[in-house]
Amino acid sequence: MIEVRNLEKVFQKDQSEVRVLEDISLTIGEGEFVSIMAPSGMGKSTFLNILGCLDKPSSGTYILDNVPVHEMNDDELSHIRNKKFGFVFQSFHLLPRMTAWENVTLPLIYSEADANMKAKAVQVLEAVGLGDRVDHLPRELSGGQQQRVAIARALVNDPRIILADEPTGNLDSKSGQEIMGIFKKLHGEGRTLIVVTHDREVALLSDRIIEMKDGRISSDRPTAQALTEVAL
Amino acid sequence: MRAARMARQALSAVSENKTRTLLMMLGVIIGVATLTIIASSVLGARGMVMEKVEKFGLDQIMIMAGAGRKPGVPQPIPTTLRVEDGQAIESEVPNIKDVSPQINRRDYLVKYGAKSSYGVLVAANPNWSAVWNTAAESGRFLSEEDRTRLARVAVIGKTVVRDLFEDEDPIGKQVLLGNNPFEVIGVLEPRGTSATGVDMDSRVIIPLSTGQKRVFNQEYLAMIKVALQDPSRMDQTVADVRALLRERHNLPQGLEDDFTIVTPTQVMSLASKVSTTFSLFLVLVSAISLIVGAVVIANIMFIAVNERKGEIGIRRAVGATKNDILSQFLFEAVTIALLGGVIGAALGIVGLKGLAFLMKAPMAAMWQPIALALLSAALVGLAAGIQPARAAANLNPIEALR
Ligand SMILES: Nc1ncnc2c1ncn2[C@@H]1O[C@H](COP(=O)(O)OP(=O)(O)OP(=O)(O)O)[C@@H](O)[C@H]1O
Ligand SMILES: [Mg+2]
């Protein structure tokens, strides 16, 4: 469903250019759980943002469900983000003045669906185990709970692809376990998961581990294979 | 529906930071409040003047004895304006419908038994009633017979009735005008206060002939009111009347008129000139507050956009288009400005009530200026919000999320 070819991303910084992604080609199929690992500053977030249509590549092609995304305009990209992707960020990014359920409805506001937004939000919050925190403000929730609200927000429009950028990076290990449990479940439901992580335990849940170095993919293998190599 | 949901989002942001919202509204509140007060009072004053002018008669001119009388400066009334002048005008000038000559005295003592009242004594012909558009409410008005007989009869206004008769029926009673006994034959319908503040209901009307021979002992007139057939030809008629009077009064060229002609257009243009200058100044005041209000709103919106970068990034990430973000911030700005407008209009109405109380004059809040004020508030919001909203919409979502 995702197919990128010769992807390149160059940032203009003052006079100089920063070539973050040099030449990235890869295919991700429906229902895959992929983790992306690399040292800091290697361009993981940049790549994920391009996959999620938040950013555009400097050159190269990106085909999503047989549609050339790299040719789309801003409004079309917004529509795709709303329909096909759910984002989960390291620092949750909840709106502080909105309750949990109101935060979860945010994607619904920008979609045409006209169902009962609150009922839908509560239903998704229950699915991530927060049925009893519906009316809480973010500051009244623990980090793990906030991240689960963020996941509920990512799920409320029922997207087929979940993109997560270091989702457990700000959490203690117990909360991280909870998030991983939810990811496992989502994977079981047949959704496609692409997770940027430094956390080996998260990576071990995935089917496939991609490593990046100097703007290129340095390694792309099934998790089982990566595991045996580590074991050797 | 999508629009309604987004409007609700914007409203929640407005109610979030109340102090800031109030600060943003302040300029608009002041601007709209002053605009409401100004426009209502100017329109009201103009309406009042127009009403007075219309009562005066749009098809009538007044010829007063004496050159341009200055208010508050006592001047001897010349003895040159005469009944014959009126007759000559009627017979020699075209476009004349009716001519009503009169003598009047202010603060004239009227007595009935032990009670007394000070009225405006007017000596006039029977056609006064038609020319002044004031009929007898009870009893009758002066008749042709009263004129020829030099009858000692009077038609009196409501204020005089109240002062002298209380519950008694005044018709048929004898009152003293100076030392002359007069029979009350009628009561005038009420007319309120004139444009110059004279109580029109304190008038006492007697036959002109009686006044000349038995009360004032004078032949000359104080004024002649002239009704025209075609008011659109007023300028020509005024010129004709003036030429005729100058000729009859033997005024050589270079000498000023010994009479003054007042036309309704003169009264109106004076009134509108005064109120235009006044309103121009006050409109400037409210325009400045509205502009200051717009600048304040724009600046605080820029700060808010910067503070809410994260929010903008999240909204963009979950599918908000640039237009959605633009609309949200624009809607916020307009809502704040309109809210300020509503508060300002309410304060303006309260202010008008206060002014009305202080000046003892009716000052109605009018819907046109309030509508105008709210419209300008909305425009202020749009003008102030457009640049910050654009900045918000054009934020790179990646930068906004960092
Ligand atoms: N807008 C930008 N302008 C200039 N340089 C940028 C911009 N965004 C990212 N970069 C640079 O691109 C490189 C990759 O950034 P990116 O955030 O993708 O790395 P990352 O792999 O996600 O790192 P981390 O693990 O720390 O999150 C960094 O060197 C960063 O400084
Ligand atoms: Mg990163």
Spatial separation of the C-alpha atoms in residues B121 and B105, rounded to whole Å: 5
Spatial separation of the C-alpha atoms in residues A18 and A40, rounded to whole Å: 15
Domain assignment present for residue B179? The answer is yes
Q: Please give the pLDDT value at position B74.
A: 60
Pair B244, B285 in one domain: no
Q: Are the C-beta atoms of B189 and B161 separated by less than 8 Å?
A: no
> Comparing A70-79, B115-124, B361-370, which segment has the lowest mean pLDDT?
B361-370
List Cα–Cα distances, A34 to A2, A49, A173, A184, A223, in angstroms: 12, 15, 21, 12, 9
Q: Cα A100 from chain centroid?
A: 20
Distance B63 CA to ligand 1 centre (A): 92
Across A13-17, A223-227, B38-42, B316-320, the highest mean pLDDT is recorded for: B316-320
| A77: pLDDT strictly greater than 90 | yes
Residues of B in contact with A75 (CB under 8 A): 321-323
Q: Which domain holds residue B306?
A: 2-51+268-401
Spatial separation of the C-alpha atoms in residues B3 and B328, rounded to whole Å: 9
Domain assignment present for residue A20? The answer is no
Phi, psi of B401 (to 5 degrees): -90, -10
**HSE-up of B392 (CA within 13 Å, CB side)?**
34
Atom number of ligand 1 nearest to Cα A44:
21
Pick the more confident residue, B66 or B240.
Answer: B240
Q: Please give the pLDDT value at position A68.
A: 94
Domain assignment present for residue B360? The answer is yes
Residues 6+ apart with CB under 8 A from A152: A100, A104, A121, A124, A125, A127, A128, A130
Going by pLDDT thresholds of 50, 70 and 90, the confidence category of residue B254 is confident
Describe the crossing of helices B322-359 and B2-16 by its angle, rounded to 10 degrees: 60
Going by pLDDT thresholds of 50, 70 and 90, the confidence category of residue B13 is confident
Going by pLDDT thresholds of 50, 70 and 90, the confidence category of residue B128 is very high
Domain assignment present for residue A221? The answer is yes
Domain assignment present for residue A63? The answer is no
Domain assignment present for residue B57? The answer is no
Q: Please give the pLDDT value at position A230.
A: 62
What DSSP line would sit under B17-49, residue for residue?
Answer: SHHHHHHHHHHHHHHHHHHHHHHHHHHHHHHHH
| B56: pLDDT strictly greater than 70 | no
Structure tokens at B164: 């002298």
Spatial separation of the C-alpha atoms in residues A188 and B194, rounded to whole Å: 91
Pair B81, B206 in one domain: yes
Structure tokens at B149: 């007989």
pLDDT averaged over chain B?
85
Residues of B in contact with A83 (CB under 8 A): 319
User: Which of B237, B257, B277 marks a domain boundary?
Assistant: B257
What is the chain B residue with the closest CA to A117? B5
The predicted-structure confidence for A172-206, as pLDDT tens digits, reads as follows 999 999 999 999 999 999 999 999 999 888 999 99
Instruction: Take atom 30 of ligand 1 and give the residue whose Cα is closest.
Output: A41
Atom number of ligand 1 nearest to Cα B396:
1
CB contact under 8 A, A109 and B6: yes
Paired strand residues for B61: B226
Pair B382, B276 in one domain: yes
Q: Please give the pLDDT value at position B69.
A: 52
Domain assignment present for residue B60? The answer is no
Q: Please give the pLDDT value at position A207.
A: 93
Q: Please give the pLDDT value at position A46.
A: 94
Domain assignment present for residue B56? The answer is no
Spatial separation of the C-alpha atoms in residues B2 and B6, rounded to whole Å: 6
Structure tokens at A36: 């992306």
Query: What is the 8-class DSSP label of residue B69?
Result: P
> Comparing A193-207, A217-231, B170-184, which segment has the lowest mean pLDDT?
A217-231
Q: Is B242 exposed, middle or buried (0-12, 13-18, 19+ CB in 10 A)?
A: middle
Specify the 3-state DSSP secondary structure of B60: strand
Q: Please give the pLDDT value at position B196.
A: 59
Domain assignment present for residue B58? The answer is no
Going by pLDDT thresholds of 50, 70 and 90, the confidence category of residue B75 is low
Spatial separation of the C-alpha atoms in residues B112 and B165, rounded to whole Å: 8
Q: Which domain holds residue A168?
A: 30-56+74-231
Pair B194, B316 in one domain: no
Q: Using CB atoms, pick whichever of B1, B16, B321 lies closest to residue A75.
A: B321
CB contact under 8 A, B313 and A97: no
Going by pLDDT thresholds of 50, 70 and 90, the confidence category of residue B400 is confident
| B235: pLDDT strictly greater than 60 | yes
Phi, psi of B361 (to 5 degrees): -130, 145
Pick the more confident residue, B3 or A147.
Answer: A147
Distance B324 CA to ligand 2 centre (A): 27
Q: Please give the pLDDT value at position A225.
A: 85
| B72: pLDDT strictly greater than 60 | no
| Average pLDDT of the segment spanning B57-72 | 75
The predicted-structure confidence for A80-129, as pLDDT tens digits, reads as follows 999 999 999 999 999 998 999 999 999 998 987 667 888 999 999 999 99
Q: Please give the pLDDT value at position A31.
A: 94
Q: Is B46 exposed, middle or buried (0-12, 13-18, 19+ CB in 10 A)?
A: middle
Task: Please report, as a single letter, which amino acid is at residue B5.
Answer: R
Distance A108 CA to ligand 1 centre (A): 30
Q: Please give the pLDDT value at position B174.
A: 93
Spatial separation of the C-alpha atoms in residues A33 and A203, rounded to whole Å: 9
Q: Please give the pLDDT value at position B7.
A: 74
Residues 62-101 of A with CB under 8 A from B: 74-75, 78-79, 81-83, 87, 89, 93, 95, 97-98
HEC string for chain A: CEEEEEEEEEEEECCEEEEEEEEEEEEECCCCEEEEECCCCCCHHHHHHHHCCCCCCCEEEEEECCEEHHHCCHHHHHHHHHHHEEEECCCCCCCCCCCHHHHHHHHHHCCCCCCCHHHHHHHHHHHCCCCCCCCCCHHHCCHHHHHHHHHHHHHCCCCCEEEEECCCCCCCHHHHHHHHHHHHHHHHCCCEEEEECCCHHHHHHCCEEEEEECCEEEEEEEHHHHHHHHHC
Atom number of ligand 1 nearest to Cα A18:
5
CB contact under 8 A, B314 and A79: no
Distance A165 CA to ligand 2 centre (A): 7
Spatial separation of the C-alpha atoms in residues B205 and B101, rounded to whole Å: 13
CATH number at residue A196: 3.40.50.300
Q: Please give the pLDDT value at position B70.
A: 54
Query: Which ligand has the shortest distance to the CA of A165?
Result: 2
Ligand 1 pocket, residues with Cβ under 6 angstroms: A 11, 13, 18, 20, 38, 40-46
How many domains does one find in chain B?
A: 2
Residues of B in contact with A82 (CB under 8 A): 318-319
Check the CA dihedral A121-A123-A128-A133 and report its sign.
Answer: positive
Q: Are the C-beta atoms of B38 and B368 separated by less than 8 Å?
A: no
User: Which of B257, B288, B321 marks a domain boundary?
Assistant: B257
| A73: pLDDT strictly greater than 90 | yes
Q: Please give the pLDDT value at position B386.
A: 95
Q: Please give the pLDDT value at position B197.
A: 62
Query: What is the 8-class DSSP label of residue B180?
Result: E
Pick the more confident residue, A163 or B9.
Answer: A163
Pair B205, B331 in one domain: no
Question: Among candidates A32, A21, A91, A88, which has minimal Cα distance to A55?
Answer: A21
Q: Cα B183 from chain centroid?
A: 38
- Å from B358 to nearest chain A CA? 47
User: Which of B232, B257, B282 marks a domain boundary?
Assistant: B257
Pair B237, B335 in one domain: no
Instruction: Please report, rounded to a whole number, the percentage of residues in chain A having pLDDT higher than 70.
Output: 97
ipTM value? 0.94
- Buried b / exposed e over B162-192, threshold 16 CB at 10 Å, is ebbbeeeebbebebebeeeebebbbbbeebe
Spatial separation of the C-alpha atoms in residues B90 and A116, rounded to whole Å: 85
Spatial separation of the C-alpha atoms in residues A37 and B21, rounded to whole Å: 46
Going by pLDDT thresholds of 50, 70 and 90, the confidence category of residue B41 is confident
| B40: pLDDT strictly greater than 90 | no
Give the number of other CB atoms < 10 A from CB of residue B48: 14
Residues of A in contact with B322 (CB under 8 A): 74-75, 78
Pair B359, B317 in one domain: yes
Domain assignment present for residue B107? The answer is yes
Domain assignment present for residue A9? The answer is no
Q: Please give the pLDDT value at position B267.
A: 67
Pair B44, B76 in one domain: no
Pair B84, B32 in one domain: no
CB contact under 8 A, A93 and B397: no
Domain assignment present for residue B185? The answer is yes
Going by pLDDT thresholds of 50, 70 and 90, the confidence category of residue B253 is confident
Pair B87, B171 in one domain: yes
Instruction: Take atom 14 of ligand 1 and give the residue whose Cα is closest.
Output: A43
Describe the crossing of helices B309-317 and A74-84 by its angle, rounded to 10 degrees: 70
Pair B72, B209 in one domain: yes
How many domains does one find in chain A?
A: 1
The predicted-structure confidence for A11-26, as pLDDT tens digits, reads as follows 988 888 899 999 999 9
Residues 6+ apart with CB under 8 A from B196: none
Distance A20 CA to ligand 1 centre (A): 7
Atom number of ligand 1 nearest to Cα A198:
25
The predicted-structure confidence for A20-61, as pLDDT tens digits, reads as follows 999 999 999 999 999 999 999 899 999 999 999 999 999 999
